[in-house]
Structure 1
């Protein structure tokens, strides 16, 4: 029996479909009044639960041999700093503690490249515009650097997993970059597709590290179910691309006009400051924060050689991923808003 947290999220939903495709019995935790329906995962056993409910987690773990912890909060809004710690750190600690009480359970944890601390390292280094800082699994978290709240929460959550490993838990950690997939395009990375679909004119001269959600789900399943590795982390990243090229490919596949006006760095700095003031006065979440305004301007690329070598496979190319996502989004109701 497999237990999955975060089964309604982007990675979790595709992981559920992958596990069902393998013919495995799957149980998933959900929050809310009614059990959700996930395409390709109709045979999943849904159980109500909450990451902060230790007793409920222990009940959900009855008869379970493998746990995939995909649940987590992704936010760069200042209002969510405490919630990031509660969900990402305390929730992961509860999962680890519950697993430790059942010897033999194997854990696959979905972290983030943000937990590697590379963004802060790149920001502090004086790099030429053409030089790229390459980050891999050996990257060290710089305690003296300034990290955003989301990155800090994922780093601290990873520490909980490593604590579990030191106490006998068998676990692997994956660190995906920005995950692309067809989902609710009012949330997470799928908003990039909405931005291209709505034919916005502006883009920032930055770059993104991206990975296909199908690769994340499949590689996570392989590492957790098909290997005996433990205490290892794996960067999942298909490559680094200029934002203008990414948005251009999305617009092309939607049959839309691509953005053509580059926003200079000083303008982005002004906008996030104005948004910060607006959010303080109104209580609304800022449309752009300091972290999102500066994301991608740091010349860094996450290296995924380790997972490709150990699994003997490569990542899907970006054009194929974007074409698939646009087709899926265009066929669903999600595009009509």
Structure 2
């Protein structure tokens, strides 16, 4: 039996489909029935046979609540821990610590108690240390707690520390650190929102650089690593490093829409996030732009996936092809 947390999120939903077609026995954690509808939407991009979703054993639980999670581990041999709270809003920091760090600690403790064979944790490049401009970032770059890190970065790094604890208790672990994940199904959040915005005429871009990867590559590598002899290793998963301008132009061209034409400079995002923060103090709404989102929009961070390529001989899909696939799904 395989247990998947975060099965109703982007990575989790795509992972569930790939596990099902591999004829695996799956138990997936969910918190509300409406979330399962999002998984059905993801499945619809792969197949017309939505009865496949019935092959999943859905288990209602909260990863931050130990009593609800204990029964989920009965008979489990492998765990894919995909659940996470992603936010750059300072108001969400306490909740992110609860989900990302405390929730992962619970998964680790129950994995140790259940004597599972292997645990795969979906981390993030946010938990990888920086490097000087022009130098590729690798798994060897140490995360620096003394920098002005975002709450998300802090909690994903903290979650990784919990996972490494499992490796000291006879649980084999693999950690994947994907770049910005591009995939279909969640158009109101994350990278899916970028496709929605560009399709509707997004006008702006920045000159920052980061790493991108297709969700199908992420889940394929997760399964490959879990079914291999590789253990107690972490891997950056990035297909290509691109500027935000390049990505936005690529999406616009694929949709046949007008390219964003206004370059936003660092001082402009600095003003905007400060204004957004001030407005948020007088409303119950989240700021339009947060400090760390504004900062990352201009950072130049380029990543290397050579470790996972050498370990598995995996060939990443080009981002141009990933974008075409995601745009095709969006049109549906």
TM norm structure 1? 0.92
SS in 1 for 2:28: strand
Unmatched tracts of structure 1, length 5 or more: 332-337
The answer as to whether partners of 1:117 and 1:151 remain within 8 angstroms in 2 is no
Equivalent residue in structure 2 for 1:135, among 134, 137, 143:
137
Question: RMSD across aligned C-alpha pairs, in angstroms?
Answer: 1.4
Are 2:37 and 1:25 aligned? no
CA shift, 1:133, in A, is 3.1
Aligned to 1:158: 160
> What secondary structure does 2:85 align onto?
coil
Matched, 1:100 2:102: no
SS in 2 for 1:64: coil
C-alpha contact 1:111 1:174 (8 A) present in aligned 2? yes
Pairs aligned (count): 320
Preserved contact between residue 196 and residue 250 of structure 1 (Cα < 8 Å): yes
1:278 equivalent to 2:290? Answer no
Candidates 146, 163, 167, aligned match of 1:144: 146
Q: Which runs of 5+ in 2 are unaligned?
A: 44-51
Q: Shift of the alpha carbon at 1:104? A: 3.8
Superposed CA offset, 1:64-97 (max 9, x none): 1100000001100011000100000000000000
Question: 1:103 Cα deviation (Å)?
Answer: 1.7
1:248 alignment counterpart: 249
Match of 1:76 among 68, 72, 88: 88
Partner residue, 2:46: none
Q: C-alpha deviations, 1:275-308, integer Å up to 9, x for none?
A: 0101111121012111111114222211110111
Q: Does 2:98 correspond to 1:86?
A: yes
- The whole-number CA distance in structure 2 between the counterparts of 1:79 and 1:322 is 32
Where does residue 49 of structure 1 map in the other structure? 61
Match of 1:334 in 2: none
Q: Which residue pairs with 1:335 in the alignment?
A: none
8 Å CA contact 2:139, 2:235 repeated in 1: yes
CA contact (8 A) 1:133 1:299 kept: no
Task: Tell me, in whole angstroms, the C-alpha distance in 2 between the residues paired with 1:201 and 1:104.
Answer: 49
Q: TM-score w.r.t. structure 2 length?
A: 0.93
In the TM superposition, residue 34 of structure 1 has moved relative to its aligned partner by 6.2
Report SS of the residue matched to 1:208. Answer: strand
